[in-house]
Protein backbone atom coordinates (compact mmCIF):
# COMPACT_ATOMS: atom_id res chain seq x y z
CA UNK A 1 0.00 0.00 0.00
CA UNK A 2 1.12 3.51 -0.71
CA UNK A 3 0.93 6.93 0.90
CA UNK A 4 -0.44 8.16 -2.46
CA UNK A 5 -3.99 7.42 -1.23
CA UNK A 6 -3.64 10.45 1.05
CA UNK A 7 -3.97 14.05 -0.20
CA UNK A 8 -0.76 15.99 -0.67
CA UNK A 9 0.48 17.67 2.52
CA UNK A 10 -1.12 21.03 3.21
CA UNK A 11 2.28 22.51 3.98
CA UNK A 12 5.92 21.55 4.11
CA UNK A 13 6.86 24.56 6.24
CA UNK A 14 7.07 23.82 9.99
CA UNK A 15 6.69 27.54 10.69
CA UNK A 16 3.09 27.31 9.45
CA UNK A 17 2.14 25.70 12.74
CA UNK A 18 3.61 28.40 14.97
CA UNK A 19 4.33 27.34 18.54
CA UNK A 20 2.74 23.94 19.27
CA UNK A 21 1.74 22.52 22.66
CA UNK A 22 2.04 18.72 22.76
CA UNK A 23 -0.48 17.99 25.49
CA UNK A 24 0.31 14.81 27.43
CA UNK A 25 0.16 13.23 30.87
CA UNK A 26 -2.85 14.61 32.71
CA UNK A 27 -4.58 12.94 35.64
CA UNK A 28 -6.57 10.10 34.03
CA UNK A 29 -5.94 6.40 34.65
CA UNK A 30 -3.97 6.41 31.38
CA UNK A 31 -1.43 9.05 32.45
CA UNK A 32 1.71 6.91 32.01
CA UNK A 33 0.70 5.75 28.55
CA UNK A 34 -0.02 9.35 27.56
CA UNK A 35 3.40 10.51 28.75
CA UNK A 36 5.03 7.80 26.64
CA UNK A 37 2.94 8.75 23.60
CA UNK A 38 3.63 12.43 24.13
CA UNK A 39 7.39 12.01 24.30
CA UNK A 40 7.32 10.17 20.98
CA UNK A 41 5.14 12.78 19.29
CA UNK A 42 7.27 15.63 20.65
CA UNK A 43 10.46 14.04 19.33
CA UNK A 44 8.91 13.41 15.90
CA UNK A 45 7.60 16.94 15.48
CA UNK A 46 10.87 18.51 16.59
CA UNK A 47 12.73 16.28 14.14
CA UNK A 48 10.64 17.88 11.38
CA UNK A 49 11.47 21.38 12.60
CA UNK A 50 8.22 22.12 14.43
CA UNK A 51 8.46 24.48 17.42
CA UNK A 52 6.83 21.94 19.75
CA UNK A 53 6.80 21.92 23.56
CA UNK A 54 5.52 19.45 26.16
CA UNK A 55 2.63 20.48 28.40
CA UNK A 56 1.46 18.19 31.20
CA UNK A 57 -2.28 18.29 31.74
CA UNK A 58 -5.21 20.59 31.05
CA UNK A 59 -4.71 23.12 33.92
CA UNK A 60 -1.13 23.85 32.81
CA UNK A 61 -2.31 24.23 29.22
CA UNK A 62 -5.10 26.61 30.25
CA UNK A 63 -2.61 28.91 32.00
CA UNK A 64 -0.29 28.86 28.99
CA UNK A 65 -3.13 29.63 26.57
CA UNK A 66 -4.38 32.55 28.66
CA UNK A 67 -0.88 33.99 28.28
CA UNK A 68 -0.95 33.23 24.53
CA UNK A 69 2.10 30.97 24.70
CA UNK A 70 0.87 28.54 22.00
CA UNK A 71 -0.78 28.75 18.60
CA UNK A 72 -2.25 25.24 18.48
CA UNK A 73 -2.44 21.97 20.41
CA UNK A 74 -1.45 18.45 19.48
CA UNK A 75 -3.63 16.49 21.89
CA UNK A 76 -2.14 13.19 22.99
CA UNK A 77 -3.85 13.06 26.37
CA UNK A 78 -5.56 9.70 26.82
CA UNK A 79 -8.66 8.85 28.79
CA UNK A 80 -11.40 10.42 30.88
CA UNK A 81 -11.46 12.77 33.89
CA UNK A 82 -8.21 14.64 33.32
CA UNK A 83 -7.54 13.01 29.97
CA UNK A 84 -8.26 14.63 26.65
CA UNK A 85 -10.83 12.23 25.18
CA UNK A 86 -14.06 13.20 26.93
CA UNK A 87 -14.90 16.55 25.31
CA UNK A 88 -13.83 18.76 28.22
CA UNK A 89 -10.51 19.76 26.67
CA UNK A 90 -12.11 20.29 23.28
CA UNK A 91 -14.72 22.60 24.80
CA UNK A 92 -12.00 24.68 26.42
CA UNK A 93 -10.06 24.97 23.17
CA UNK A 94 -13.21 25.83 21.20
CA UNK A 95 -14.03 28.57 23.71
CA UNK A 96 -10.53 30.00 23.43
CA UNK A 97 -10.51 29.52 19.63
CA UNK A 98 -7.29 27.54 19.73
CA UNK A 99 -6.86 25.00 16.88
CA UNK A 100 -6.23 21.40 17.94
CA UNK A 101 -5.87 17.89 16.58
CA UNK A 102 -8.46 15.14 16.59
CA UNK A 103 -12.22 15.04 17.09
CA UNK A 104 -14.32 17.87 18.44
CA UNK A 105 -16.50 18.11 21.54
CA UNK A 106 -19.31 15.81 20.40
CA UNK A 107 -17.12 13.10 18.89
CA UNK A 108 -14.79 12.83 21.85
CA UNK A 109 -17.61 12.83 24.41
CA UNK A 110 -19.61 10.15 22.62
CA UNK A 111 -16.63 7.94 21.83
CA UNK A 112 -15.40 8.02 25.43
CA UNK A 113 -18.77 6.79 26.68
CA UNK A 114 -19.14 3.19 25.51
CA UNK A 115 -22.82 3.03 26.44
CA UNK A 116 -23.71 6.09 24.34
CA UNK A 117 -21.49 4.83 21.51
CA UNK A 118 -23.49 1.62 21.44
CA UNK A 119 -26.78 3.50 21.50
CA UNK A 120 -25.76 5.53 18.44
CA UNK A 121 -24.44 2.50 16.55
CA UNK A 122 -27.51 0.40 17.27
CA UNK A 123 -29.80 3.24 16.14
CA UNK A 124 -28.05 3.10 12.76
CA UNK A 125 -28.01 -0.68 12.51
CA UNK A 126 -24.27 -1.00 13.13
CA UNK A 127 -23.26 -4.24 14.91
CA UNK A 128 -22.08 -4.18 18.53
CA UNK A 129 -22.25 -6.83 21.27
CA UNK A 130 -25.43 -7.15 23.35
CA UNK A 131 -25.03 -5.12 26.54
CA UNK A 132 -26.57 -4.12 29.84
CA UNK A 133 -26.01 -0.76 31.54
CA UNK A 134 -25.16 -1.32 35.20
CA UNK A 135 -26.34 1.37 37.60
CA UNK A 136 -25.23 1.43 41.22
CA UNK A 137 -27.00 -1.33 43.15
CA UNK A 138 -28.04 -3.34 40.08
CA UNK A 139 -27.93 -7.12 40.35
CA UNK A 140 -24.89 -8.13 38.31
CA UNK A 141 -25.92 -11.79 38.41
CA UNK A 142 -29.33 -11.02 36.92
CA UNK A 143 -27.66 -8.94 34.21
CA UNK A 144 -25.36 -11.84 33.34
CA UNK A 145 -28.35 -14.17 33.07
CA UNK A 146 -29.98 -11.78 30.62
CA UNK A 147 -26.94 -11.71 28.36
CA UNK A 148 -25.57 -15.18 29.00
CA UNK A 149 -22.05 -16.00 30.13
CA UNK A 150 -19.30 -15.36 29.20
CA UNK A 151 -19.41 -11.57 29.52
CA UNK A 152 -17.16 -8.54 29.75
CA UNK A 153 -17.55 -6.17 32.71
CA UNK A 154 -15.93 -2.74 32.40
CA UNK A 155 -16.22 0.96 33.16
CA UNK A 156 -18.16 2.77 30.46
CA UNK A 157 -15.69 5.66 30.26
CA UNK A 158 -12.15 4.26 30.50
CA UNK A 159 -9.67 3.01 27.91
CA UNK A 160 -6.51 0.89 27.62
CA UNK A 161 -8.39 -2.08 29.15
CA UNK A 162 -8.42 -0.29 32.52
CA UNK A 163 -10.88 -1.95 34.93
CA UNK A 164 -11.92 -4.61 32.39
CA UNK A 165 -12.66 -8.24 33.31
CA UNK A 166 -13.60 -11.27 31.24
CA UNK A 167 -16.05 -13.36 33.24
CA UNK A 168 -16.78 -17.01 32.50
CA UNK A 169 -18.40 -18.11 35.77
CA UNK A 170 -21.08 -16.62 38.00
CA UNK A 171 -18.70 -16.77 40.98
CA UNK A 172 -16.36 -14.21 39.36
CA UNK A 173 -19.00 -11.55 38.70
CA UNK A 174 -18.75 -9.76 42.04
CA UNK A 175 -14.97 -9.38 41.76
CA UNK A 176 -15.29 -8.02 38.22
CA UNK A 177 -17.90 -5.52 39.36
CA UNK A 178 -15.72 -4.38 42.26
CA UNK A 179 -12.76 -3.78 39.94
CA UNK A 180 -14.79 -1.79 37.40
CA UNK A 181 -16.44 0.25 40.16
CA UNK A 182 -13.06 1.67 41.19
CA UNK A 183 -13.34 4.05 38.23
CA UNK A 184 -15.78 6.95 37.84
CA UNK A 185 -18.89 6.79 35.73
CA UNK A 186 -21.33 4.08 34.78
CA UNK A 187 -20.51 0.41 34.32
CA UNK A 188 -21.19 -1.79 31.36
CA UNK A 189 -21.66 -5.52 30.88
CA UNK A 190 -21.53 -6.88 27.37
CA UNK A 191 -21.54 -10.20 25.59
CA UNK A 192 -18.02 -11.59 25.24
CA UNK A 193 -17.35 -12.21 21.55
CA UNK A 194 -14.87 -15.04 21.17
CA UNK A 195 -12.74 -14.78 18.07
CA UNK A 196 -10.24 -12.42 16.47
CA UNK A 197 -9.52 -9.01 18.01
CA UNK A 198 -8.96 -6.40 15.31
CA UNK A 199 -8.48 -2.67 15.12
CA UNK A 200 -8.68 -0.14 12.29
CA UNK A 201 -6.96 3.23 12.37
CA UNK A 202 -8.57 6.24 10.74
CA UNK A 203 -6.59 9.15 9.29
CA UNK A 204 -8.70 11.84 7.70
CA UNK A 205 -11.15 10.09 5.39
CA UNK A 206 -8.95 6.99 5.02
CA UNK A 207 -9.28 3.73 6.94
CA UNK A 208 -5.82 2.27 7.51
CA UNK A 209 -5.20 -1.46 7.08
CA UNK A 210 -6.70 -3.56 9.84
CA UNK A 211 -4.47 -5.12 12.48
CA UNK A 212 -5.23 -8.53 13.96
CA UNK A 213 -3.92 -8.74 17.51
CA UNK A 214 -2.61 -12.07 18.77
CA UNK A 215 -1.57 -11.80 22.45
CA UNK A 216 0.52 -14.49 24.08
CA UNK A 217 -1.95 -14.74 26.93
CA UNK A 218 -5.69 -15.27 26.82
CA UNK A 219 -6.60 -11.73 25.83
CA UNK A 220 -5.29 -8.29 24.94
CA UNK A 221 -5.11 -6.69 28.39
CA UNK A 222 -3.09 -3.70 29.63
CA UNK A 223 0.09 -5.81 29.99
CA UNK A 224 -0.20 -7.16 26.45
CA UNK A 225 -0.84 -3.65 25.10
CA UNK A 226 1.99 -1.73 26.73
CA UNK A 227 4.49 -4.07 28.37
CA UNK A 228 4.73 -7.47 26.70
CA UNK A 229 7.08 -7.95 23.78
CA UNK A 230 5.48 -11.19 22.57
CA UNK A 231 2.13 -9.84 21.32
CA UNK A 232 1.83 -10.39 17.56
CA UNK A 233 0.37 -7.74 15.27
CA UNK A 234 -0.68 -8.97 11.83
CA UNK A 235 -1.22 -6.15 9.33
CA UNK A 236 -3.36 -6.27 7.34
CA UNK A 237 -5.29 -8.48 9.68
CA UNK A 238 -7.67 -9.75 6.98
CA UNK A 239 -7.76 -10.03 3.23
CA UNK A 240 -10.16 -9.74 0.33
CA UNK A 241 -13.74 -8.77 1.01
CA UNK A 242 -13.41 -9.15 4.78
CA UNK A 243 -10.69 -6.48 4.86
CA UNK A 244 -12.81 -4.14 2.75
CA UNK A 245 -15.80 -4.77 5.01
CA UNK A 246 -14.04 -4.05 8.30
CA UNK A 247 -12.44 -0.88 7.00
CA UNK A 248 -15.78 0.47 5.78
CA UNK A 249 -17.41 -0.51 9.07
CA UNK A 250 -14.73 1.42 10.96
CA UNK A 251 -15.30 4.55 8.88
CA UNK A 252 -19.07 4.28 9.35
CA UNK A 253 -18.72 3.79 13.12
CA UNK A 254 -16.25 6.67 13.48
CA UNK A 255 -18.42 9.05 11.48
CA UNK A 256 -21.61 8.00 13.29
CA UNK A 257 -20.19 9.28 16.57
CA UNK A 258 -19.26 12.62 15.03
CA UNK A 259 -15.55 11.79 15.19
CA UNK A 260 -13.06 13.33 12.78
CA UNK A 261 -9.36 13.86 12.15
CA UNK A 262 -7.77 10.66 13.34
CA UNK A 263 -8.51 7.80 15.66
CA UNK A 264 -9.01 4.07 15.92
CA UNK A 265 -11.97 1.70 15.99
CA UNK A 266 -11.74 -1.64 17.84
CA UNK A 267 -13.64 -4.61 16.46
CA UNK A 268 -14.18 -8.28 17.31
CA UNK A 269 -14.79 -10.94 14.65
CA UNK A 270 -16.85 -13.83 15.94
CA UNK A 271 -15.01 -17.08 15.37
CA UNK A 272 -18.14 -19.13 14.66
CA UNK A 273 -20.03 -16.78 12.33
CA UNK A 274 -17.34 -14.48 10.95
CA UNK A 275 -19.49 -11.46 11.89
CA UNK A 276 -17.90 -8.19 13.02
CA UNK A 277 -18.90 -6.44 16.27
CA UNK A 278 -17.89 -2.88 17.17
CA UNK A 279 -16.34 -2.45 20.63
CA UNK A 280 -15.29 1.20 20.88
CA UNK A 281 -13.78 4.19 19.12
CA UNK A 282 -10.65 5.98 20.35
CA UNK A 283 -10.15 9.66 19.53
CA UNK A 284 -6.56 10.03 20.80
CA UNK A 285 -5.01 6.58 20.32
CA UNK A 286 -1.67 5.61 21.76
CA UNK A 287 1.53 6.61 19.98
CA UNK A 288 3.91 4.37 21.94
CA UNK A 289 6.30 1.76 20.58
CA UNK A 290 3.51 -0.81 21.04
CA UNK A 291 0.72 1.31 19.54
CA UNK A 292 -1.41 0.29 16.60
CA UNK A 293 -2.10 3.38 14.48
CA UNK A 294 1.64 3.90 13.75
CA UNK A 295 1.94 0.22 12.76
CA UNK A 296 -0.93 0.48 10.29
CA UNK A 297 0.31 3.82 8.92
CA UNK A 298 3.69 2.24 8.14
CA UNK A 299 1.87 -0.30 5.98
CA UNK A 300 0.65 2.62 3.88
CA UNK A 301 4.06 4.23 3.58
CA UNK A 302 3.78 6.78 6.39
CA UNK A 303 6.62 6.66 8.90
CA UNK A 304 6.07 7.94 12.44
CA UNK A 305 7.31 11.48 11.74
CA UNK A 306 5.09 11.79 8.67
CA UNK A 307 2.11 10.43 10.60
CA UNK A 308 2.58 13.05 13.33
CA UNK A 309 2.92 15.77 10.69
CA UNK A 310 -0.31 14.65 9.00
CA UNK A 311 -2.17 14.66 12.30
CA UNK A 312 -0.86 18.12 13.21
CA UNK A 313 -1.89 19.40 9.78
CA UNK A 314 -5.49 18.65 10.65
CA UNK A 315 -5.35 21.55 13.12
CA UNK A 316 -5.08 23.86 10.09
CA UNK A 317 -8.58 22.85 8.95
CA UNK A 318 -11.68 24.97 9.51
CA UNK A 319 -13.84 23.03 11.97
CA UNK A 320 -16.91 25.06 11.10
CA UNK A 321 -17.12 23.12 7.80
CA UNK A 322 -17.23 19.69 9.49
CA UNK A 323 -20.47 17.80 9.02
CA UNK A 324 -20.36 14.15 10.07
CA UNK A 325 -22.12 11.80 7.67
CA UNK A 326 -24.32 9.13 9.30
Residues forming the active site: 30, 160, 226, 264, 266, 280, 282, 286
Angstrom distances, CA of residue 278 to CA of 121, 122, 197, 247, 282: 8, 10, 10, 12, 12
Dist. CA 219–CA 217, nearest whole Å: 6
What residues have CB less than 8 Å from 121, skipping those under 6 apart?
Answer: 127, 128, 253, 256, 278
137, with CB counted inside 10 A (0-12, 13-18, 19+), is exposed
Distance CA(65)–CA(51), nearest Å, equals 16
Phi-psi region of 306 (alpha: psi -120 to 50; beta: other; left: phi over 0): alpha
Amino acid sequence: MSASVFPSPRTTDPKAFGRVAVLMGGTSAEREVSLDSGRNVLEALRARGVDAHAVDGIPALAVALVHRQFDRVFNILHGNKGGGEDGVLQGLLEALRVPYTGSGVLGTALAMDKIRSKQVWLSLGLPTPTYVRLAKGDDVHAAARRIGLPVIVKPSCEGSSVGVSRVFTDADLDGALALAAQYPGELLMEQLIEGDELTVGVLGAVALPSIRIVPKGQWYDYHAKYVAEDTQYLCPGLDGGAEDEIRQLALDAFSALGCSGWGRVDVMRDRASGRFFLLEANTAPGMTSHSLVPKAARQMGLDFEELCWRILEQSLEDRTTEAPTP
